[in-house]
Amino acid sequence: MADSLGNGEIASRLQSAYPAFVSGVEGNEVVFKDGSRLPLSDGRDKPFDAWLADPDIRDMFRFKYPRGAPALPPARDFDPGRARNAQFFSKIYGDCRKPGFGSSLTTITWLPSKAAQHIQISRLNGVAEHLSAVSRELDALPAKFDVFLVPAAGGYVCRPIAGTAQRSGHGYGIAIDVATRRSHYWRWASGGPGGGHYRNDIPMEIVDIFEKHGFIWGGRWYHYDTMHFEYRPELLPPQK
């Protein structure tokens, strides 16, 4: 299940996903445009729990994100994009526990005709522009989709992922939860993954629009969260 990308592929994914921030990979280091560096790999071969709790940058690419695939129950512990290297994301988007973080955020009008809801999201790395593009396309969908979208459950919020010490994508201002009414979340299912069965009602028309604009979907995870979308363009490289 491991997807071992070469350093060259990782470098080009990071450069095209974070063009104002990442200049490349040298040896075992990601080099940023301000001259700072972060390790690409910590050299540890991690079981699933350690992968999730303390991923290095290379670990974020462990699972190949199945863009465009039908929504089927994922294989055990197949969670593409669920691990985030905190140093990397804090470097790009800031640390929400620190003063001044608010200047990285902006407010967009989400689904202007369906909801006109104000959603706080990062203004960095093109996140707000990409989410606005998603919003325009979703807003044009027929009314039968509204139940899955309205009201959105929120964008930015500074909190760890439930049950972990890891910052959620919401803490960086790069994630949005669509409506809870028709959503499924592994922690809400009796028994959790393996006990509760994978369930999804979110139509693929919605998923396709998010993926087209660089957002991954939590409905593709074994630890599924079908209302969750997160801007992770490094996992959605341009299609050849």
Which one-letter amino acid corresponds to residue 200?
N
Residue 35 CB, nearest distance to Zn ion (Å)? 33
Long-range (24+ apart) CB contacts under 8 A made by 49-53 are 51/83, 52/79, 52/82, 52/83, 52/164, 52/166, 53/164, 53/165, 53/166
CB 81 within 8 A of CB 235: yes
Q: Pick between residue 25 and residue 131 the one whose CB is nearest to Zn ion.
A: 131
184 binds Zn ion, rule: CB under 5 A: no
Instruction: Report the C-alpha gap between 28 and 34 in whole angstroms.
Output: 18
Stretch that binds Zn ion, among 10-18, 43-51, 112-120, 221-229 (CB under 5 A): 221-229
Q: Pick between residue 59 and residue 177 the one whose CB is nearest to Zn ion.
A: 177
177 binds Zn ion, rule: CB under 5 A: yes
Q: Give me the residue label for tokens 């592994």.
A: 186
Residue 159 CB, nearest distance to Zn ion (Å)? 10
79 binds Zn ion, rule: CB under 5 A: no
91 binds Zn ion, rule: CB under 5 A: no
Q: Pick between residue 40 and residue 127 the one whose CB is nearest to Zn ion.
A: 127
Stretch that binds Zn ion, among 47-55, 124-132, 168-176, 185-193 (CB under 5 A): 168-176
Q: Pick between residue 130 and residue 228 the one whose CB is nearest to Zn ion.
A: 228
Q: Pick between residue 55 and residue 173 the one whose CB is nearest to Zn ion.
A: 173
Stretch that binds Zn ion, among 32-40, 65-73, 175-183, 197-205 (CB under 5 A): 175-183
Residue 153 CB, nearest distance to Zn ion (Å)? 7
Residue 73 CB, nearest distance to Zn ion (Å)? 20
228 binds Zn ion, rule: CB under 5 A: yes
Q: Pick between residue 2 and residue 162 the one whose CB is nearest to Zn ion.
A: 162
Stretch that binds Zn ion, among 19-27, 57-65, 174-182, 191-199 (CB under 5 A): 174-182
# binding residues, Zn ion (CB under 5 A): 3
Q: Pick between residue 78 and residue 224 the one whose CB is nearest to Zn ion.
A: 224
Residues that bind Zn ion (CB under 5 A): 175, 177, 228
